[in-house]
Structure 1
């Protein structure tokens, strides 16, 4: 029960005082003495009593994590020999694909190039990258509100964005050493063959050279400089009308 004098001094209800005393006891700021009363404890002593076990637990977790990482890393050479570092490695499962891409991206020291077909903007890559990143998207992302927000964030982070009319597949090339090609249903293929990676990389470079840079800023969604390119792409798929046949007759 709360002391009546304490209730009166603090201007609180007995229940509120009891809750406060309980909280202080849990924080070790009040501790029982030999007479059964409660005495204040130094905050430093309370912190040592509470935080000490947590620090020991963190140290133990770090030790176990380091041990586990070393054990798994030691299996790397064995895995490589067993797979003979296959030029093509299939990865299945959305989480495994994302982990693969994040691992390849963090190994990069020079550049990552990506291609993202579709009407909306997305990105496989982690956000905390120190290398150069160039990404290709299709023109419709310029007028999609959510995609524009994503692209603005990419540009603010220092990534280079361009758009074009057509992209054939979702691809990422890492330091011109490996490439990841997305499949369907959460699958991907990791490619290591130098000639294959070079072929994919040159294809991305050709697209990049003719793509339209995306510039951050502006309030109204618009195609901008990409408008004419987008119109030509539509016309390529426009079916010929009867006027063509009549022109031959007359």
Structure 2
């Protein structure tokens, strides 16, 4: 080391540092012939070893990147299976819907809006909703509901409606309601996956544009509805809302059976109403009733 220092003019510490760097680069190795001494290694061999080590490190990093990429793809695929589009989640089955409604209603801040096209309110649904509605009303949440007029034909549902309105809810009725829908705080809405089968599940929507359109639909139904507890007003032709709706159905080709299903009343009720309307319109047939109603401005 002293001789090298004299030959190179470098301090011994600098020489030791250079040896350490050369060893790290695999350009110096222990001599097999001279114990305790080092031998130089060809740069092609030494640096090739270093390059191989670097390539192995890069390969390991790349493998880790590919593993992470696969994990992200798996998560995205799982997420996509429950996400139908931006801010919409599929709730499969009635239990999933009720569980989500419980979560939403417990955290409702100021408003719950609903459209209810069905007739009688199922006892199990009433028992599940009653405590949640009571808690929400106690918190000052506004509850507004639009229901189909025919729900009045079920005594238990009618009693539940009285309970709701007596505790501060607001309710209005229409002859027909377009779709089942619940909107929470104008931020989240639940819509049926299959309108013909409410027990199939629901779609939870949070897209602002869709929520805005659903709120507009609700307000349109609300403004056209009759306040619960009041008699529906007749128009200038003496027609009630349900009579006008029945005439519109007849004019569009609905049968008595189809109209009865949509209105949620018996076939006998529809035929009695239709007979009364035909007499007032001086019509001998359903078709003529539709024509006369249009001519007289009833539709």
| TM-score, normalising length: structure 1 | 0.57
Per the alignment, residue 102 of structure 1 pairs with 102
- d(CA) in 2 for partners of 1:199, 1:236: 25
- d(CA) in 2 for partners of 1:105, 1:162: 21
What runs of 5+ residues in structure 1 fail to find an aligned partner?
Answer: 1-78, 216-222, 246-250
Per the alignment, residue 208 of structure 2 pairs with 194
Per the alignment, residue 168 of structure 2 pairs with 158
Over 3 Å counting, the alpha-carbon distance change for 1:142 and 1:224 in structure 2 is farther
- d(CA) in 2 for partners of 1:230, 1:170: 19
- Secondary structure of 1:230's match? helix
Per the alignment, residue 237 of structure 1 pairs with 249
Cα RMSD of the aligned pairs, angstroms, is 2.8
1:183-225 per-position Cα deviation (integer Å, ceiling 9, x unaligned): 333300000100001110110011101111102xxxxxxx822
- Secondary structure of 2:287's match? coil
What runs of 5+ residues in structure 2 fail to find an aligned partner?
Answer: 1-74, 235-239, 252-285, 293-299
Give the counterpart of 1:176 among 168, 186, 197: 186
**Structure showing the higher helix proportion among its residues:** 2
Length, aligned pairs only: 160
1:148-194 per-position Cα deviation (integer Å, ceiling 9, x unaligned): 11111111221111001221111000111010012333300000100
Shift of 1:238: 2.4
- Secondary structure of 2:182's match? strand
Higher relative contact order (CA 8 A, sep 6+): 1
| TM-score, normalising length: structure 2 | 0.48
- Secondary structure of 2:250's match? coil
Per the alignment, residue 70 of structure 2 pairs with none
Per the alignment, residue 237 of structure 2 pairs with none
